[in-house]
Amino acid sequence: MPSDNADKVVLITGINGYIATHIGLQLLQKGYKVRGTSRSTSAKGHLLAGAFKGYESQYEHVEVEDIVASGAFDEAVKGVHAILHTASPVDFTLKTVDAFFGPAIGGNLSILESAKATAGPQLRAFVVTSSIAAIMDRWRQAPDHAYSEADWNEMGESVARREFTAPVAYGASKAAAERAVWKWVEANQPFFAVAAVNPAVVTGPPVSWPTTPDKLNTTLLPIWNIYSGNNVMPPQIGSAGYIDVRDVARMHVWAMEHPDQSNGERYLMSNGKAPPQAAADLLREQFPERDIIVGEPGQGYTKDYWFPQGEASSVSTKAYKALGVPKFITYDRSVLDTVEAFEKQWPGLAQNFKHKN
């Protein structure tokens, strides 16, 4: 284990989230100390009994009940080497634009203020988990626009305020929250580096588990539903860009470990396009004994899961370069690893066999 990381404490907010636990685990494996924050009192025990088992001596936990409250993170940031801020509402059952905007923007600003005021001069990097939803703007751009880090979702907020849907409000909240970060950086010229990671729809095996599949996060639940025989095709999220959670975690760690290169940068992460139909087709082929929704086979994506001609694309050239890879984990690998993990966690729970013996 690399010992030069042993004295470095990395703060991860929303530590019991799907992406955050992956980041936490990668950092623990690299020998860092991890300090996680959560709203719930049960998160610490849950993580130390599960995803972070064996890393008890490297892990600290702080409860932050209201991430928007002024000074909420003053204690949590003290003495940290880096801050990875992932906490933000990703809950498509929320009913108002402000239910997304409040914690998304307020959380970003509150933790930046705490970082500046109380973290200490050893703080090197602040990485915020933004989203491709902060970049893509299907209301304003041509349908075949090639998106990059230079683009912003500008119309989402007015669309969501005119006619509320949770996914549009969510995307708009990510754009507003990331914009608030860059505005804060411009106004405050912080002594630490600031970077944003902008992932597409994240899949891949979780390392921390809810009690039951219905509590899986917003982007894993559709995979479970397809795999376990639900006969409704889940709605496509955004423009169905895909990315594996392990790559998303690696990108956060890289941005944190390369503050001179990542400072002021956004990293779009989308490895191609894969709507729920692609998961259904793949899982039907891999598990012919299971009853899995048919939908419209082959529709809405290409066999290599790249961006179909004439549709929006979002190529992660910058992120590939940063991580030194030609491409990220493939969609097949991501989904098959996910369902393998489902079976390990909940053996036999998915009962959708065509012929029961």
- Residues forming contacts to ligand NDP in the complex (CB under 6 A) are 14, 16-20, 38-40, 67, 86-90, 103, 129, 131, 174, 199, 201-202, 217, 219
Q: What is the largest CA-CA distance in the chain?
A: 67
Comparing CB distances to ligand NDP, the nearer of 16 and 277 is: 16
Q: Is 78 exposed, middle or buried, given 0-12, 13-18 or 19+ CB atoms closer than 10 A? A: middle
CB of 40 to ligand NDP, least distance (A): 5
Comparing CB distances to ligand NDP, the nearer of 89 and 213 is: 89
Rounded distance between C-alpha atoms, residue 243 and residue 207, angstroms: 16
CB of 294 to ligand NDP, least distance (A): 25
Task: Mark residue 189 as left, alpha or beta (left: phi above 0; alpha: psi -120 to 50; beta: remaining).
Answer: left
CB of 121 to ligand NDP, least distance (A): 27
Rounded distance between C-alpha atoms, residue 175 and residue 281, angstroms: 32
Comparing CB distances to ligand NDP, the nearer of 7 and 60 is: 60
CB of 201 to ligand NDP, least distance (A): 5
The amino acid present at 41, given as its one-letter code, is T
Comparing CB distances to ligand NDP, the nearer of 90 and 233 is: 90
**What are residue 104's phi and psi, to 5 degrees?**
-65, -55
CB of 355 to ligand NDP, least distance (A): 35
Rounded to whole angstroms, what are the CA distances from 274 to 296, 304, 313, 332? 14, 9, 12, 10
CB of 23 to ligand NDP, least distance (A): 9
Q: Is 169 exposed, middle or buried, given 0-12, 13-18 or 19+ CB atoms closer than 10 A? A: buried
| Dihedral, 199, 202, 207, 213 alpha carbons, nearest 10 | 150
Render 64-90 in DSSP notation, one character per residue.
-S-TTSTTTTTTTTTT-SEEEE-----
CB of 13 to ligand NDP, least distance (A): 7
Q: Are 273 and 315 in contact (CB under 8 A)?
A: no
Q: Is 196 exposed, middle or buried, given 0-12, 13-18 or 19+ CB atoms closer than 10 A? A: buried
3-state secondary structure of 102: helix
Comparing CB distances to ligand NDP, the nearer of 88 and 277 is: 88
CB of 321 to ligand NDP, least distance (A): 20
Comparing CB distances to ligand NDP, the nearer of 192 and 242 is: 242
CB of 134 to ligand NDP, least distance (A): 9
Comparing CB distances to ligand NDP, the nearer of 130 and 228 is: 130
Render 287-342 in DSSP notation, one character per residue.
-TTB----SSTTTTS-TT--PPTTS-EE--HHHHHHHT-SS---HHHHHHHHHHHH
Comparing CB distances to ligand NDP, the nearer of 91 and 285 is: 91
Comparing CB distances to ligand NDP, the nearer of 5 and 252 is: 252
